[in-house]
């Protein structure tokens, strides 16, 4: 099913990522009931102009969602304090293998770029 097809009411689609908004806080990873999210990061020191000392920030290296495990419960989307995760009304991610259901940063961000498109909901 793609966004051009009619979607049932209350459909979510897939989860999209805005990597620049992700602070690698790990809330989504810890709270996922099926552990389908994996996140890798590293710490970097950042010195801001006028600051007396550098501060340490976590930088996102890898973020994957295994849609073969995902229950589409939305806990990760609801709990993200930085709105890095959002529902995207797209179902066009079918894969020919189980490994193809694991989506990384580039795929998740590409879905985020399509958020301006509104889904057609049946019954409206």
Q: Decide if 1 is inside a domain.
A: no
Cα separation, 61 vs 40, in Å, equals 5
- CATH at residue 35: 3.30.70.3270
Does pLDDT of 38 surpass 90? yes
The domain in which residue 38 lies consists of 14-112
Band (pLDDT 50/70/90 cuts) for residue 124 is very low
Please give the structure tokens belonging to residue 109: 């961000």
Q: Considering only CA atoms, which of 75, 88, 67 is closest in space to residue 27?
A: 75
**How many domains does the structure of the chain reveal?**
1
Q: Decide if 108 is inside a domain.
A: yes
Q: Decide if 42 is inside a domain.
A: yes
Query: Which burial class, exposed, middle or buried, applies to 12 when counting CB atoms under 10 A from its CB (0-12, 13-18, 19+)?
Result: middle
Average pLDDT over residues 92-101: 72
Please write the tens of the pLDDT for every residue from 43-67: 999 998 888 999 999 999 999 999 8
Band (pLDDT 50/70/90 cuts) for residue 103 is confident
Band (pLDDT 50/70/90 cuts) for residue 99 is confident
């Amino acid at each position: 099913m793609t966004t051009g097809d009619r979607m049932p009411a209350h459909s979510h689609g897939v989860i999209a990522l805005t990597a620049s908004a992700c602070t690698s806080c790990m809330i989504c990873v810890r709270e996922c009931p099926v552990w389908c999210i994996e996140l890798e990061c590293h710490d970097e020191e950042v010195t801001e102009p006028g600051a007396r000392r550098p501060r340490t920030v976590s930088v996102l290296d890898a973020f994957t969602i295994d849609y073969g495990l995902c229950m589409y419960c939305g806990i990760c989307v609801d709990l993200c304090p930085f709105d890095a995760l959002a529902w995207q009304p797209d179902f066009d991610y079918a894969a020919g293998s189980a490994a193809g259901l694991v989506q990384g940063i580039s795929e998740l961000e590409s879905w985020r770029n399509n958020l301006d498109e509104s889904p057609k909901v049946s019954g409206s």
